[in-house]
């Protein structure tokens, strides 16, 4: 694939490609659009290759996801719950876990010489605009999870929007939250800061901390790996498939908000 050949002319990309491939054979799949993704499971890494103005940065991003998995990052989490609020929790878990990875990857990305602006896909310049549009319409009383999905994009490291824009947007974001939600979001920012500084590769503790702070999912069991029924009890298993691809894009900020 020519775009990969070009990307691997970058020495850092080629070195990480060889490191990943030595442990998990890499398969490449061309896809339409600019949202690259990758999945590492069962000893194989599959990378979906889209278009990119900076293919070396896009490929390095996916290789960093793969490298985290190979280094022992826990499998994508899943939830088992009878709490009616948990409908859609798989999206929440996936989004949190993907962003935990981004926070951990960003330092290595910039250390390899890449611009912070190239950390996400080519469409990233619109990320903050979408958030502002959503904030214009969101009710302060909306579920904390709806605000979390916006916060994840606002605090995601790097990207095409400036840090000054980020600070302005964060002020707007907090002005739209109810007092209780604001306190929750500030605590969740703290969880991300602690995770970024920590050497742990176990994403379950921060995910459970965040779900507990949200307070919408009482009685939900969170695991990692493949869901399996326990004790013969009929449970509604809402799984995140371990085949799920790590997206090169940030979360879609309009997808999770209450209508
Ligand atoms: Zn990513």
Distance 91 CA to ligand 1 centre (A): 15
Gap between the Cα atoms of 185 and 234, Å rounded:
34
pLDDT at 42: 84
Concatenate the DSSP letters of all residues of 127-142 into one string.
HHHHHHHHHHH--TTS
Distance 250 CA to ligand 1 centre (A): 7
Give the gyration radius of the chain's Cα atoms. Answer: 18
**Residues in the chain where the model's pLDDT stays below 70:** 76, 224-259
Distance 136 CA to ligand 1 centre (A): 27
Gap between the Cα atoms of 222 and 224, Å rounded:
7
Distance 216 CA to ligand 1 centre (A): 26
Gap between the Cα atoms of 26 and 41, Å rounded:
11
Q: Are 192 and 98 in contact (CB under 8 A)?
A: no
Gap between the Cα atoms of 226 and 240, Å rounded:
9
Distance 178 CA to ligand 1 centre (A): 30
Which residue, chain included where needed, has tokens 């602690």? 194
Distance 124 CA to ligand 1 centre (A): 12
Distance 249 CA to ligand 1 centre (A): 6
Helices (H) and strands (E) in the chain, counts: 9, 7
pTM above 0.75, yes or no: yes
* Residue 220 host element (H or E): strand 220-224
Distance 140 CA to ligand 1 centre (A): 29
Distance 143 CA to ligand 1 centre (A): 26
Task: Please give the order of strands across the beta sheet that includes 246-247.
Answer: 26-30, 44-49, 37-41, 246-247
Distance 243 CA to ligand 1 centre (A): 15
Alpha carbon distances (Å) from 229 to 74, 233, 239: 20, 7, 12
pLDDT at 99: 96
pLDDT at 227: 43
Distance 181 CA to ligand 1 centre (A): 27
Gap between the Cα atoms of 237 and 212, Å rounded:
19
Distance 63 CA to ligand 1 centre (A): 9
pLDDT at 255: 36
pLDDT at 222: 78
């Amino acid at each position: 694939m020519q775009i990969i050949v070009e990307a691997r002319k970058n020495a850092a990309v080629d070195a990480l490609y060889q490191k990943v491939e030595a442990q998990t054979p890499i398969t490449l799949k061309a896809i339409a659009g600019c949202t690259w993704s990758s999945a590492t499971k069962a000893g194989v890494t599959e990378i979906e290759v889209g278009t990119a103005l900076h293919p070396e940065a896009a490929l390095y991003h996916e290789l960093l996801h793969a490298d985290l998995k190979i280094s022992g990052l826990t499998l994508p989490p899943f939830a088992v719950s009878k709490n009616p609020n948990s409908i859609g929790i798989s999206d929440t878990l996936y989004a949190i876990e993907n962003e935990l990875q981004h926070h951990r990857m960003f330092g290595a990305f910039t250390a390899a010489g890449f611009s912070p602006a190239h950390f996400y896909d080519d469409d990233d310049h619109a990320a903050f605009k979408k958030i502002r549009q959503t904030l214009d319409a969101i009710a302060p009383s909306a579920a904390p999870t709806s605000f979390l999905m916006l916060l994840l994009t606002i605090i995601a490291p790097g990207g095409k929007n400036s840090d000054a824009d980020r600070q302005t947007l964060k002020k707007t974001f907090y002005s739209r939250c109810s007092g209780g939600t604001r306190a929750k979001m500030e605590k969740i920012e703290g969880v991300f800061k602690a995770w970024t500084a920590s050497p742990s590769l176990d994403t379950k503790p921060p995910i459970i901390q965040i779900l507990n702070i949200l307070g919408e999912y009482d009685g939900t069991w969170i695991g990692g790996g493949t869901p399996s029924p326990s004790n013969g009890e009929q449970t509604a298993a809402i799984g995140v498939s371990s085949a799920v691809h790590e997206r090169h894009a940030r979360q879609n900020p309009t997808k999770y908000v209450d209508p």
